[in-house]
Structure 1
Amino acid sequence: MAARSDVIDAVPLTPDAPPPAAPAKPAVAEKEETLPADDPEAKIPEGPDMPAQPVPISEVPCRDAIGAAASARLVERCIQVSPATRPPCNAANPCDLIQGEIDRSCKLWERDGDPPAACKP
């Protein structure tokens, strides 16, 4: 068997060796949006021309917060308006998340044309 020319002869690092240096940041940094450390809400982009919207951090399922019948109506409305392939329209999700999807979807429908009846008050 012929010797391979692409083999690298390497020596492993010893455990007490310092870690490799972090790459240097460019002199001109891109503008980054920073959130306050005490902000309990995360922000996600809604689309290329829509500003980020706050998404409340909640652990309480919607069906527990407002009841089975009301959460079922909210979920049905969410399913009717959301163009997402996997929308958060599920009573196990927090109501704020479901309502946020309804609001986001209705804004998209209003921007692009004729919104569904579930978007109209």
Structure 2
Amino acid sequence: MRGLASLAMLSAALLLATPLLSACGEPAPEKTAEVASAPAQTPVMPEDAPPQEEAEATITDSVVPTPVKSCAEDIGAAASAKLVQRCIAVSPATHPPCNAQNECAAIQGEIDRSCAMYGPGETKPAECAA
């Protein structure tokens, strides 16, 4: 008799647990249709709020960018040509950092970078010392 009562209780427990477990794998109902159909509400200011002013978007940056001068414009065609030739002589770069249309500082920077690649025991080109 005891076995029959235990079996009945087990069956009842399984019957009660089945609906609970079957709901575990279901996704939550989607509410996208409700959200999409609701019109956007405009904010309402309280009646006792102080008057609001619309601020105009203005650029207050007082720094005016300086136009970049090419090396040829900065030091002249002859001097920039010499700097470019020094750069070409020492630079392994395949892109044209050694170009008179670049700033002189960029060309000199490429010369300095290229010359710095030589080790302590290596002989640097004469253009590195110029």
Higher Cα Rg, which structure: 2
Higher normalized helix content (fraction of residues): 2
TM-score by length of 2: 0.46
Higher normalized strand content (fraction of residues): 1
TM-score by length of 1: 0.49
